[in-house]
Structure 1
């Protein structure tokens, strides 16, 4: 009997347009309306109570009790919003955030967290506030605490409690977001209620543990490149938004409330005379009857540097190295400016401290000193953090774009300086007192600083006419506006990324002429490109040290031309590089034979023929079993693209990927190993598995294989699943892909190569030093990445295995080649980090061996 006679039900494949209606029920019945419309009743009840109590409060009534330590007053504070403008925001937060938490915790635990956690936070806040007032009056921490915790603090308790009941990715995100909100409010706003938002974090963690959530550990979970960029972008955004919070809502009592000076212009008008608040030289008359700012909107100029930081934070999120550099530079400038303020104001402040005998006045002086010092250290700490984790932003900038940005900013700076200097000299009589040349020069140096940030002690003359005011305010406004525009163009323009034009050209070459199964990986970021002169072919490569490592062989219509490889070797030789052709198949390796170089196997590609492959046969029993089980449990496969997925689906895929990365003991690898970022390409197809509850439980991504301007098949890239997905879900998904590609008439289905994994298990005596080194590296990485386990998994499908080769000129360069390969897979890897990594991997392998024994 032929193999095809063994029957097996085909995998159930749902298209994006039909899967949503049927995936929620194992039997294919329409989902229950109650499941679709699941009202968060407890959250809605909390929102209603908050609305009612707040409205009563606005009318001037007191609902319960009067004493600050009365329990009824503490309960009332949990449901009271004091400011009408904040009431809609709090209600939305309760309905949305509380509703999501209710789905995780349930109504009863939600109410326990809100009420019980809120009361615990209130009691802790009152006690700490009393100690703070008695012991630490000189530290600017927050306004005096005299009421209970507000609703926002109780919501943070709920969020932190719920974080103990979700997966690793959302647990980390919820906790980071809650910490960012609490710390931003406490440091920058520092109102009485902001102490409660800070205390809500540990209270929520403890309550989550008591209610049965996951225990809190001090272990730092490894993040993917994307998640690291999210955290760095959030940190940068906080340094941009925090000063605005301090300016608009700050109490003036926080550690970073010094940034609330942003909107206060030291120039004011008293009885028609321009003077400087806090200055001895240009002091305002205390007997004046008419006073007001010289320019009421001058404070908004100080928001322009913060806008640059916001643009940089968005660029960091997109992986742009130039954006990270801008964020570091701006934070260092803020640090330098704050140190200047500290140096200018410190003598007078210390003098005031020496002569004052009043305890309250001394406390105020100490708060100024501490606030300025801490305000200077924060941007320095942010700059250092961004520098330490700079490798998370891997997309460089095109030299032309970088030069244009630096030239634009430099020209704007020089133009501002010259215009201010010449203009002030020409209109010196429009200032009071009329400045000399030295005073003008010293003041012009500060013209790039927003005027509201100038210390009063540094101002030697003031503008008294309209022309003088224009020379005082406009230069910094124009300069920073130019910086904002230049940053947007530099950071957010796709064409300003390094090799952006080359990448588009290389992709066109690939789509016209095709290449090997891995050739689409050449379109990923991080590669440089060489285009063969006179023929339609290109090679993607990465230079690490003096080694140029190619990603596969040549691609394009003329990729088999023997002269292409020779020309690339000459190109590398002219630059002092040693070329290494990595992960080339037999056909590509044959075109390199005339070089006379050595070659060694580095992987094996698993290939299936969609037209003839079938799950029949004893050795493919696992595939059939998985297909049957998926049908019983209501698991469906869906062939789709990233752009066709909902926001919820994308979040679930990121969660699955982040959980996978968090379990690794080494950084997320790249080069020939893709991730979620590579899934977003419109040409990449996804086959996802959904369970009966419509959750995404597994995802695979498939990169196209081109030939003669057509897609002739797909190659497997990413393959990840939830830890609680059904056994065999990956076998089911790949079987579904085979059925799909057979229906589309594709001729190629590649399960790709397993890096550093080999079909042969023994090392023969003729293996050279390179192969022995790679096999040792494979054994070392196996506990972390499971390359051999992956290769064994692919054997379940009984594919054809084809060797993939590394072609190199000189075995004597083995150490440099090995380090270059590791740095291609793990960018930024140094020898010292590699040694620590190897030690950690060996320890992990011993632990797993001991556990297995």
Structure 2
């Protein structure tokens, strides 16, 4: 959390405006005495009456006050949130330009519009032409709309949609002078934003995806829910309802029941959530409801035309809005084919169905036969995984499901790049079809390129350290620490043993388990999983362990090594480090000794490479992954998360330790289709790494991180 001083330094204009508005409210007593009820209003409120009286200065003075005491709450909060956001994104100078021009366009534009339309039989504009207003709300809402240009897609479009929906809904249902000012200010802000960053405003069109149709349909019902919730509090004085007769308006107000609004709003929100998931049943309900409502509205329009009664504008507006929603559902019907989650569990090939031993055996066989370009791929065979296969391709993707996210682990396992790219596409389509969010974790640059070609985003989350064995030679000053470890082990009688742990004596296995248990207990949190193996994974017959054992048979340290099957399959061409555990109080240089000894042993066997694996959330340099993302925010988040976990798991210390072996580095990435899913993916990764951690553990972790 940024400190108050940091915020004030970064947001000087917003901080000053908040202080001035609050101070003036106390000095003029408008904080508790309504401004509109005092004579002071003639010199401190703006609007068409003020301008016709020649009080043009009120466009400036009115910006620092609220008409009523309670309205200071949304004004101060809005200045802090919307104004602070705009200044943070635009900088003080451009924020000042946006703030001033949006205020002028909102206030003067509304006055001009009312001057043109009043006294022509339109009750709403005639009524508003006699109203005065005050406050900077049009300014900071318009500035926020202008600042949206600095936000990366898809958040840019979503922020603009929310702002536009807010101002349009409120001007329709409340219809106050401030609501009209907000519409004009936000519209101006959307045009001004591109100019402030040095480019002309432009509209870009593209073909709508399945996700776009789901968002549009879901958003339509969210708006309907909001309308139902705010209608009991509206005055029936908006630009549409003002066409009703006085008796009709009174009847409309009497018909608005808060309980009915809450019930309908809740139902619409439930329907919106199911449509967002692409549920087939929700689409059928939505289409049926809209067809019924549109039929009733058509009958109502016909009745109004036949009887010449007032209210045609209201009826037509509702009809057009619902017709738009129905059109989205019908045109995008292909986006709503997902069965319910319960039915998906019963469906053959469901991603949420449990795996069996046969699937793991098939995955192991495919990895040996096909190979892959990811040296960490053996972890895809761990029993906790599930495996996605496609009948059109020979290969698989290992994955886990948490929080509605399907987390693919490592690269797709297949023999060629084309097959890996095809598997990624099939995996993405299948996950989306079941209403889940897909992503792949710790993938190489090859797969990140395939993902970006599909329009996905890419973030570096780790860095793999690897060593070329044919040229490895512990000679020279740079290798002094490693030679010291080897020499000290020889003096103390510590020797290196290498082989499958499952084939070693029972006493050795028990010591390894005891060392691991003590290491876990020392962390204060459950042992991490997912990409970090433990003793259970080390007991795999295909995995070899390196042990530092003294003359008494005491194990001082243990490492485990997973086989590397490169593209084309066959026998292992290298080994990847997984488990690293040291006996507390044991041989000081255990890890240096074990890794160096393993490298020499693998080199003698003719292996080409040793991977020291990747340290999650530890990076030498943050690679530029995706220019469409807000890199500063994401990298800051990853760095803080890594710093929080460091006292418990030492990822960064481990990363620094591996530098002793002069490895090469290769970035490992997280790829995902939508930036909006990042918080959900973060939650899923937390559950994947810490499946046994309870709420108390995570709270303790968060507190320590501060």
User: More relative contact order in 1 or in 2 (CA 8 Å, sep 6+)?
Assistant: 1
Q: TM-score, normalised by structure 1?
A: 0.42
Q: TM-score, normalised by structure 2?
A: 0.50
